Amino acid sequence: MPEIQSTSPKPTEERKKVTTRLIQAMKARHEPISMLTAYDYPTAVIMDQAGVEVILVGDSLGMVELGYESTLPVTMEDMIHHCQAVARGAKYALLVGDMPFMSYQASTQDAVRNAGRFLQEGGMNTVKLEGGSERADTVRAIVGAGIPVMGHLGLTPQSIHKLGGYRAQGKDAEAAYKLLEDAQTLQEAGCFSLVLESIPGRLGKLVSESLEIPTFGIGAGVGCDGQVLVTHDLLGLFERFTPKFVKQYAHLAEEMRGAFGAYKADVKARAFPASEHTVEMDNDEWKCLEEKLSSTNSNILIHDPSMR
């Protein structure tokens, strides 16, 4: 294998595990915080090596990995399975498990139990849930059980049918005021940070400045304390649609199509595997095999002279 050159920090370097306190300190010193989604082991390893501070196992899993139309069908079992893979790969990033639809809405008991599963079974450090003031009691109960909670305001995909589609939120004064109030309520309830999704840039900045806890914007402008993107959007790996707020840093779908096509062409042309991909047998051993086959009257015949 060729040696891979990397400018990213190696996992063996002296690095501290990122904690909720650390990202709060980053906000205090105005240091932007990076968060990305991951759903599998290899992505988590590479993301951790790149030094991304927070890894979210988002319920966007349902759309970008499992092929659902929305995040609504995602189950606790789906989430735990993928959280475990990410936790095996990422040693330094703060790990956030996204609570799926109906894992926290029906009762506070459900919410606390399911949040606990993210830490106990999934290997996460914290959980995220969607919603404003109506979630304050739930947040209090989960935080009361010793589990840090990240809130999520603005476009909350689990409420897609109530919101009437994937559209920007907080665009009029009343909605913006409500969002500011919700952010304060979630902070008071004990959230250690908030995601702000698809809201006007100046509202994202105002909310961020009004809070002590860090905010992570996704389509909420540069004034947030940190940024988050769905990794498949950033990598150009999810082609069904691309939200306006996404910046593509790579075009992996195109690269993958190219690689798969080239592999298929090689197979058809018998250009793969070549000799360097093939284990060979010692000539003497091969001769022994031929002798054994002829002495046992085997009906296996060695036709190919190149094999001799």
Q: What are the residues binding ligand KIV (CB under 6 A)?
A: 37, 56, 58-60, 98, 152, 195, 197, 218, 228, 230
Beta strands in 110-161 (DSSP E): 126-128, 149-154
What is the closest distance, in whole angstroms, from the C-beta atom of residue 178 to ligand KIV in the complex? 20
What is the closest distance, in whole angstroms, from the C-beta atom of residue 62 to ligand KIV in the complex? 8
What is the closest distance, in whole angstroms, from the C-beta atom of residue 254 to ligand KIV in the complex? 23
Q: How far apart are the first and last CA of the chain?
A: 29
- In terms of C-beta density within 10 A (0-12 exposed, 13-18 middle, 19 or more buried), how is residue 147 classed? buried
> Which tokens belong to 213?
């806890």
The Cα 235–Cα 237 span in angstroms is 5
What is the closest distance, in whole angstroms, from the C-beta atom of residue 163 to ligand KIV in the complex? 14
Q: How far is CA 258 from the centre of its chain?
A: 24
Q: Which is nearer to ligand KIV, 53 or 59 (CB)?
A: 59
Q: Which of 181, 197, 285, 291 is catalytic?
A: 197
The Cα 38–Cα 61 span in angstroms is 8
DSSP letters of 206-274?
Answer: HHHHH-SS-EEEESS-TTSSEEEE-HHHHTT---S---TT---S--HHHHHHHHHHHHHHHHHTT-SS-
The Cα 148–Cα 190 span in angstroms is 8
Q: Which is nearer to ligand KIV, 9 or 75 (CB)?
A: 75
Q: Which residue number is nearest to ligand KIV in terms of Cβ?
A: 58
Q: Which amino acid is at 14?
A: E
Q: Which is nearer to ligand KIV, 39 or 92 (CB)?
A: 39
The answer to whether 239 is a known catalytic residue is no
What is the closest distance, in whole angstroms, from the C-beta atom of residue 282 to ligand KIV in the complex? 54
Q: Which is nearer to ligand KIV, 96 or 206 (CB)?
A: 96
Q: What is the set of active-site residues?
A: 197
